[in-house]
């Protein structure tokens, strides 16, 4: 019998998975929701109380949508109340799995890993939801690199099926397999990739977003027509500029910066238009304005 409790959706039984998600932003709150929907004992941690409140509201909205479609096996309220919201890192003490989903800033991640190292028990798996920072580098900040792995979810986590599981050179085979099994128990369909800049998803996505922004910068077409081209001509669910606003232009800028620095390839160089938008607070949906107004 596996050591974590399987999702009630595939009632195979098993032990309880106690999971803490650190960072209550869009991704962290969505990831916590995914674990809670699978019946796992979930704690969402953020040192900023305001972020926790926003995260809770995100989860509430999303559960309501899913509830209206009868896509949940449990009442939305019950799922929401099963999540512990905490502003103290100490709350991850007894977790068997910790998912880090804080800002894409190395110093912040490093600080979190050094703090939780003093709290957690040996054998705890730490998974990072980083979208571009090296898993091998991050694993050098933890005590047990064999128990460290990338678990890259996609926005919105409750809807998107993929988890990109990123193996560091020191990640053990057994941890890789466990995270694959856990991802499936969450109703996700994982892929396994080795640590390389941008993994697969962002290595492929970022040049497309960049070319779309540069097409706008060069006056080739309007925001709407660039999006329409990709939506209707290439059959993507969202146009690339809508997607930038959806991901967050600051996040897109940070990922492109990491990839440009790592590969040295101009195909990843953040466009000046994107830089200027980020510096002027046009981050997309979350600030009410990006390529579009919300
Ligand atoms: N929670 C619950 N349900 C949600 C939801 C959420 N957070 N967001 C959307 N939905 C539901 C809606 O209620 C709707 O349900 P219905 O079809 O039963 O009415 C359904 O999903 C479709 O939503 P909408 O009608 O509002 O809009 P769309 O049809 O455009 O779908 C979308 C929304 C699923 C987000 C779709 O546009 C999409 O797949 N977009 C692309 C998303 C994407 O590419 N994500 C990856 C970004 S890259 C990333 O995350 C990696 C990082 O490292 C950058």
Give residue 62 CA to ligand 1 midpoint distance, Å.
Answer: 10
**Residues in contact with 41: Cβ distance below 8 Å, sequence separation at least 6, in sequence order:** 16, 17, 18, 19, 82
Residue 6 lies in a domain: no
For residues 42 and 179, state if they share a domain.
yes
For residues 122 and 241, state if they share a domain.
no
For residues 250 and 276, state if they share a domain.
yes
Domain of residue 235, CATH code: 1.10.1040.10
Domain of residue 57, CATH code: 3.40.50.720
DSSP-H helix ranges across 199-267 = 201-217, 223-228, 234, 240-247, 249-263
Angle between helix 272-279 and 201-217 (nearest 10): 90
Residue 4 lies in a domain: no
Give residue 157 CA to ligand 1 midpoint distance, Å.
Answer: 9
Give residue 156 CA to ligand 1 midpoint distance, Å.
Answer: 6
Residue 27 lies in a domain: yes
Residue 193's DSSP bridge partners are 166
Residue whose CA is at the smallest distance from ligand 1 atom 16: 69
**Residues in contact with 203: Cβ distance below 8 Å, sequence separation at least 6, in sequence order:** 196, 197, 259
Residue 162 to residue 183: CA distance in whole angstroms: 9
Sign of the torsion formed by the C-alpha atoms of 224, 231, 244 and 160 = positive
Residue 100 to residue 126: CA distance in whole angstroms: 7
Residue 280 to residue 266: CA distance in whole angstroms: 24
The maximal CA–CA distance of the chain, rounded, in angstroms, is 59
Residue 122 to residue 291: CA distance in whole angstroms: 46
Tens digits of pLDDT across the chain (294 residues): 333 344 443 444 455 689 999 999 999 999 999 999 999 999 999 999 999 999 999 999 999 999 998 889 899 999 999 999 999 999 999 999 999 999 888 999 999 999 999 999 999 999 999 999 999 999 999 999 999 999 999 999 999 999 999 999 999 999 999 999 999 999 999 999 999 999 999 999 999 999 999 999 999 999 999 999 999 999 999 999 999 999 999 999 999 999 999 999 999 999 999 999 999 999 999 999 999 999
Of 5, 34, 31, residue with least CA distance to 18: 5
Output the pLDDT for position 6: 45
- The token duo for 273 is 């238009």
Residue whose CA is at the smallest distance from ligand 1 atom 18: 69
Residue 111 lies in a domain: yes
- The token duo for 284 is 């997309």
Residue whose CA is at the smallest distance from ligand 1 atom 32: 237
Give yes or no: 152 in active site. yes
Give residue 238 CA to ligand 1 midpoint distance, Å.
Answer: 9
Looking at 194, 220, 243, the residue that finishes a domain is 194
Which domain range does residue 252 map to? 202-285
Output the pLDDT for position 14: 52
Helix (H) or strand (E) holding 165: strand 162-167
Residue whose pair of structure tokens reads 């309880």 in the numeric block: 16
For residues 136 and 244, state if they share a domain.
no
Residue 75 lies in a domain: yes
On the question of a cis peptide bond just before residue 156, with omega within 30 degrees of 0, the verdict is yes
Of 265, 218, 271, residue with least CA distance to 244: 271
CA 205 to chain centre: 15
How many domains does the chain divide into? Answer: 2
DSSP β-ladder status, 84-86 and 148-152: unpaired
**What are the counts of helices (DSSP H) followed by strands (DSSP E) for the chain?**
12, 8
For residues 82 and 49, state if they share a domain.
yes
* C-alpha Rg value of the chain to the nearest Å: 19
Looking at 194, 229, 263, the residue that finishes a domain is 194
For residues 40 and 178, state if they share a domain.
yes
Give yes or no: 201 in active site. no
Global confidence as pTM: 0.93
Choose the catalytic residue: 131, 183, 212, 215.
131
Q: Cα-flanking dihedrals φ and ψ of residue 177, to 5°? A: -65, -45
Residue 162 to residue 283: CA distance in whole angstroms: 25
For residues 186 and 273, state if they share a domain.
no
């Amino acid at each position: 019998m596996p050591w974590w409790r399987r999702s009630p959706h595939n009632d195979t039984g098993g032990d309880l998975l106690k999971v803490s998600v650190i960072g209550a932003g869009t991704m962290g709150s969505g990831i916590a929701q995914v674990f809670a929907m699978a019946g796992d004992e979930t704690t969402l941690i953020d040192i900023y109380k305001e972020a926790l409140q926003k995260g809770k509201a995100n989860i509430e909205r999303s559960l309501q949508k899913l509830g209206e479609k009868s896509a949940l096996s449990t009442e939305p309220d019950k799922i929401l109340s099963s999540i512990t919201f905490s502003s103290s890192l100490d709350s991850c003490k007894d977790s068997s799995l910790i998912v880090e989903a804080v800002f894409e800033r190395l110093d912040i991640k490093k600080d979190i890993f050094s703090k939780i190292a003093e709290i957690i028990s040996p054998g705890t798996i730490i998974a990072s939801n980083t979208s571009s920072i090296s898993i091998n580098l991050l694993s050098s900040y933890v005590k047990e690199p064999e128990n460290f792995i990338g678990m890259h979810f996609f926005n919105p986590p409750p809807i998107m099926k993929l988890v990109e599981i990123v193996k560091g050179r020191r990640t053990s085979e057994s941890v890789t397999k466990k995270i694959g099994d856990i991802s499936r128990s969450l109703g996700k369909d994982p892929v396994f990739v080795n640590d390389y800049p941008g993994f697969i998803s962002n290595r492929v996505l970022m040049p497309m977003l960049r070319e779309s922004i540069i097409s706008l910068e060069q006056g080739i077409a309007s925001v709407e027509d660039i999006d329409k081209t990709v939506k209707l001509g290439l059959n993507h669910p969202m146009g690339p500029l809508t997607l930038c606003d959806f991901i967050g232009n600051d996040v897109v800028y940070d990922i492109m910066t990491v990839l440009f620095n790592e590969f040295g390839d101009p195909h990843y160089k953040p466009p000046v238009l994107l830089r200027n938008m980020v510096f002027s607070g046009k981050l997309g949906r979350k600030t009410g304005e990006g390529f579009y107004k919300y």
